Amino acid sequence: MNELALAVPWLGKRNPQAARWLVIALAIGAPLIAMAFGRTWVRVLDFALLYILLALGLNLVVGFAGLLDLGYIAFYAVGAYTFAFLSSPHFDVHLPIWVVLPLAAGFAATAGIMLGFPVLRLRGDYLAIVTLGFGEIVRIFMNNLNYPVNITNGPQGINALDPIILFGWDLSRNIQVTEEVSINSLFLYYYFFLACVAGSIMFIQRLQISRVGRAWAAMRDDELAAKAIGINTRNMKLLAFSLGATFGGLSGALFGSFQGFVSPESFSLMESIAVLTMVVFGGMGNVAGAIVGALILSALPEILRHLAVPVQQALFGHVLLDPEVLRMLLLSLAMILMMLLRPAGLIPANAKYSHIRHLKSKGVAQ
């Protein structure tokens, strides 16, 4: 749990205990604060939680194991489509969420292993480009598998996905507490997603200090040396791919149900890059970094829309740069500048198993 404290660096260093409670309080109180600015911001937070899940998963692969995966969004797609197949009128199957979520995560993990096996021998650049290809292949198949047999409904996507129902309790409906007071469904989703994120964080932190986590760190820092001390790098890589994919699949399933509609255009290469930027921006190899990166960058479009348009209108009288263009500009600059100036990210990882810190402390140049 110590890493959570890093999410508020200025306090985290002095008083991790207090910082941790602050993070938890913020997480619980966030939608109430957001509500003051309008329910839209609660929806933004809901999406942010889904991105946090994605970033956490990708961080396992990129940050912990050092395998650059540019097709990560494919697992998100697998999760979303699994949910769509098993919980929508498309095949008229409506399995309960407790069955669908594990299946979505499981299928995504399987896809992760399927990707992992062939690319075991590849490293660095080659791995990146093959995973990029994998992501595109998955998207193209989802876009075209409506023929000869209609499986994915092609570019039209699948509509009317079931909402999340917990023990007969439909999260997409507002709860009427009294005549006038009701709790909006966005809050219910928020807390459900938050629970998923919290569970994932706990799991990942245990994992990080476990044998597996240390093996990953060893493999990332020097694969040959890791092999020499008896780490089965093949299994470790496969585990990284499949565990990373699991989070992607989970997030995808939640996304499908929350949005109620999935179509291949949500799973483009740009999304993979966006999630990668979140991890890089926040700080590779640590949980707090992934969380902060995902939070900031997923709220960015909405913030830009609120700031960029009025500011530009005030300054130039018309909108010079669309918020979307501005977002792309900031994302690409973030990637470049972070790598050049602050390669450890906004929140550098704990020294213990982090690559960069570790090497720096040893004074090794490379």
Q: How far apart are CA 258 and CA 86, in angstroms?
A: 15
Q: Which is nearer to another protein, 198 or 321 (CB)?
A: 321
Q: How far apart are CA 219 and CA 214, in angstroms?
A: 9
Best CA proximity match to 244, nearest among 219, 269, 207, 281:
207
Q: Which is nearer to another protein, 104 or 186 (CB)?
A: 186
Q: How far apart are CA 107 and CA 78, in angstroms?
A: 7
Best CA proximity match to 244, nearest among 101, 13, 62, 19:
62
Q: How far is the CB of 139 from another protein (least distance, A)?
A: 10
Q: Which is nearer to another protein, 186 or 250 (CB)?
A: 186
| Helix/strand/coil for 169 | strand
Best CA proximity match to 250, nearest among 115, 64, 54:
54
CB 139 within 8 A of CB 267: yes
Q: Which is nearer to another protein, 11 or 309 (CB)?
A: 309
Q: How far is the CB of 217 from another protein (least distance, A)?
A: 13
Q: How far is the CB of 236 from another protein (least distance, A)?
A: 16
Q: How far apart are CA 128 and CA 115, in angstroms?
A: 12
Tallying the residues shown for the chain, one arrives at 366
Q: Which is nearer to another protein, 87 or 263 (CB)?
A: 263
Best CA proximity match to 216, nearest among 207, 5, 140:
207
Q: How far apart are CA 351 and CA 361, in angstroms?
A: 9
Q: Which is nearer to another protein, 18 or 311 (CB)?
A: 311
Q: How far is the CB of 211 from another protein (least distance, A)?
A: 23
Q: How far is the CB of 304 from another protein (least distance, A)?
A: 10
Q: How far is the CB of 280 from another protein (least distance, A)?
A: 6
Q: How far is the CB of 90 from another protein (least distance, A)?
A: 12
Best CA proximity match to 267, nearest among 152, 187, 149, 114:
152
| Helix/strand/coil for 93 | strand
Q: Which is nearer to another protein, 11 or 269 (CB)?
A: 269
